[in-house]
Structure 1
């Protein structure tokens, strides 16, 4: 969608009307695709930020300009009228300056491909083992407790959706379900509170203020499914559970399959991989308060260590409930 409007930031003074028309058309395309449902304006901001970044505006600057142009003028379940759309598009175009760019207008790096290269090089077999083998039942439900405390503080409806997804994934784990996009999609419908399972994204995705870009191709979903399938325990090719759970989490992060809620989806995938082998944690704080880089191998190793810390502590506490 953003590639339909090739523009040049250096020529902004002569092209300003073209930038305005492009922004207007993108807003209207988002309203048409989302139906102006819950949180549609967040996706609209994301698309406008992608658009500016794609044509040379520095990612942080792009996000700032979009935030300033949109402000609080878009609302869930409300489609903006023509006057408002035109006003936002005009303000965005008028705010652009030739020196807003620090990158060329050429294709940006694909951090999904960078992640897949890192993924192949990480020494997953050397990951710590979580303090032992076999199932473990914690004295408290760390995942549910964290959702109630963290997500509940942000939005009670968000917490309810996450808890519903948590119950569903544990039922799926008990039945030995295979982890793939379709399974994530079922949980994500509860996470986002959408009337239908959210589809796989059809555009490049951005994260970390636009600093990471995840490409899209006709085989992206199939590649994600192939990666997630490796989270299962396999005879003759046993990787530590901590490694398989961490890898699934990062796969979801960097494939970035949904337009929204990918961090929550990644966390649920991690919990599922553990639950499928009868493991639950009594704490998850290290797994939800950190950010990982797609092209940094050490980050993958760090995540396996964080899972190991929580798992080993859960085993100790389970063995000594009085403590």
Structure 2
């Protein structure tokens, strides 16, 4: 692929194709139940706080909202994400982007069309599809936010909060989230499936005898 191809290719369109082809139904099963450690809280209190205390405090407020929304089983939609994102960025409004977005040093471009917001809404609704295992739904929702890239800033944080929310709605709290902080690419179906597997691996650690001491 040439530099010009990388500039013009629509990575969001690529993701929507990969999303249709990925085997979400083959995702491993998770085991709902209590967790001795909230990995998101530990991540905020540890590396995020050490790097930027203000960023950590904003993330904690957003996390509280995402968990409260999960507790009341609020359906996942853009308005919900925008509320969390206001906390993440410390702003009064977090509107949907108004133009193409770019990431990974410009190597991925996420187009904006008249259908983008409706497509995003439809994808978010699928987070409640009980025919797909929870790990698959959480991974898919995370990647949807990453590749729709709905906000002008903070989309990686929005994606992680979305994953936390989808899992928490069904009683799963991962004991760590650090391993999720890796670069994902829109054209990588194996990577999409691997994210669901990683969520299951982290969930199994929650049930390990020393899970509360990591």
Whether TM-score is above 0.5 comes out as: yes
For 2:28 and 2:34, how far apart are their aligned partners in 1? 20
Question: Under a length normalisation based on structure 1, what TM-score does the superposition of the two structures give?
Answer: 0.63
For 1:157 and 1:102, how far apart are their aligned partners in 2? 37
Contact 1:139 1:317 in 2 (8 A): no
Secondary structure of the corresponding residue to residue 118 of structure 1 = helix
Q: Deviations over 1:15-68 (max 9, x none)?
A: xxxxxxxxxxxxxxxxxxxxxxxxxxxxxxxxxxxxxxxxxxxxxxxxxxxxxx
Where do 5+ consecutive residues of structure 2 fail to align?
none
Q: Is 1:160 matched with 2:57?
A: yes
Equivalent residue pairs, number: 213
Query: What is aligned with 1:209?
Result: 105
Alignment of 1:30-179 (within 5 A): 102-103=3-4, 108-130=8-30, 132=31, 135-179=32-76
Contact 2:142 2:160 in 1 (8 A): yes
Q: Greater relative contact order: 1 or 2 (C-alpha under 8 angstroms, separation 6 or more)?
A: 2
For 2:158 and 2:142, how far apart are their aligned partners in 1? 8
Alignment of 1:265-284 (within 5 A): 265-284=158-177
| Structure 1 residue 322: Cα displacement | 8.7
What's the Cα RMSD here? Answer: 2.0
Contact 2:7 2:108 in 1 (8 A): no
Query: What is aligned with 2:187?
Result: 295
Residues 116 and 317 of structure 1, relative CA distance in 2, 3 Å threshold: farther
| Structure 1 residue 145: Cα displacement | 0.6
Question: Under a length normalisation based on structure 2, what TM-score does the superposition of the two structures give?
Answer: 0.94
For 1:263 and 1:197, how far apart are their aligned partners in 2? 18
| Structure 1 residue 154: Cα displacement | 2.2
Alignment of 1:210-229 (within 5 A): 210-229=106-125
